[in-house]
Amino acid sequence: MNTYLSISPEVQQALDEGRPVVALESTIISHGMPYPQNVETALRVEQTIRDGGAVPATIAIIGGQLKAGCTPDEIEYLGRKGQAVTKASRRDLPVLVARGEDGATTVTTTMMIAAMAGIRVFATGGIGGVHRGAETTMDISADLEELAMTPVMVICAGAKSILDLGLTLEYLETKGVPVIGYGTEELPAFYTRHSGFKVDYRIDTPEELASAFKAKLDMGLQGGMLVTNPIPEQYSMPADVINRAIDQAIDEANRLGIRGKQTTPFLLAKVKDLTGGDSLESNIQLVLNNARLAARTATALSRLTSGR
Ligand code: PSU
Ligand code: MN
């Protein structure tokens, strides 16, 4: 028994009964959006999952406990404390847990804790990947290694072009991670529906997402599956506006010598500043869109695996 893992009663009961559960990350709350929109969005995302017939499990580290299922008060705490909560990737878990500290979970640690709890489906905004210039900086997100290792389906809106999307896809191919486009053959680029890169497979229904993932689990293949779900047309941003902001943010990060775990939050905040409130609204809408798909997919997966 993992004594560091704390599953909320509601999530535990759903898992025991084979009902659908969807994991949600907390870096997006503490580091990804300003207060109070971060808390409002986190609660709306949870409600969207409930409306879709599944149980939300917001994941975080609080007082050294790995939480699968946060209360509204805990979400408020993580959102208000914001950047003061340590952004926690795989390498951060041992010391944070031993010290009894808080951590905002990235895609990596959310996948890890979801898997420990027995949760198979996870919805978020965007994942980390291979950064532009990684051939010299070696800045490659731990998210890609986790996707290679841990059996959780991650539903996102693709990746922002703060990353090198071509190298990110190459890396995922090497690691054996299926990259699926939901209703599209093209990898979506978070704020925009288009990147110019092809996904491995197009899938058009939650049922087929669930059956592909079940096949992976049944074969005992390690690792997850990446589902990329394009932002709804009406919330997508003009490509030139967003790409100009991203180029400017990267120039500034280079000039200031921003490195390591600061890089992604710095670029995200800078892009948001440069594009005003528009990008925040797009960001909120694409997360809600992913939550809807995740609830339907978790429902389909629970039907397949528990025969309910
Ligand atoms: N990309 C986004 N929004 C985010 C993140 C990435 O568009 O909020 C967050 C996620 O928590 C992701 C993490 O797991 O940043 C990746 O950070 P890094 O590049 O340091 O691994
Ligand atoms: Mn990094």
> pLDDT tens, 66-79?
999 999 999 999 99
Q: Residues 210-234: what's their mean pLDDT?
A: 98
Name the phi and psi angles at 274, rounded to 5. Answer: -70, -25
- Residue 168 CA to residue 144 CA, distance in Å, equals 8
Best of 61, 90, 106 for a ligand 1 pocket test (most atoms within 8 Å of beta carbon): 106
Give 18-31 pLDDT, tens digit per residue: 999 999 999 999 99
Kindly list the protein residues whose Cβ atom lies closer than 6 A to any atom of ligand 1: 25, 27-28, 32, 89, 106-108, 125-128, 141-143, 160, 190, 261, 264, 268
- Which candidate, 266, 167, 168, 151, places its Cα nearest to that of 212? 151
Going by C-alpha positions, the residue among 239, 223, 231 that lies closest to residue 275 is 239
Distance CA 31, CA 117 (A): 24
Pick from 26, 143, 156, 161 the residue to mutate for probing ligand 1's pocket: most ligand atoms within 8 Å of its CB: 143
- At 231, give phi and psi (nearest 5°): -55, 140
Query: In the prediction, which pLDDT does 276 show?
Result: 81
Task: Name which of 109, 106, 113 is nearest 128 in CA terms.
Answer: 106
pLDDT band at 278 (very low <50, low <70, confident <90, very high): confident
The 10s digit of each residue's pLDDT in 160-189 is 989 999 999 999 999 999 999 999 999 999
Maximum distance among all alpha carbons in the chain? 56
Q: If pLDDT is split at 50, 70 and 90, which confidence band does 308 have?
A: low
Does the structure show a pLDDT above 70 at 307? no
Asked whether the predicted pLDDT for residue 118 surpasses 70, the reply is yes
Q: Residues 229-277: pLDDT tens digits?
A: 999 999 999 999 999 999 999 999 999 999 999 999 999 899 989 998 7
pTM: 0.97
* Better-predicted residue by pLDDT, 139 or 2: 139
User: For this structure, is 25 an active site residue?
Assistant: yes
Chain-centroid distance, C-alpha 38? 15
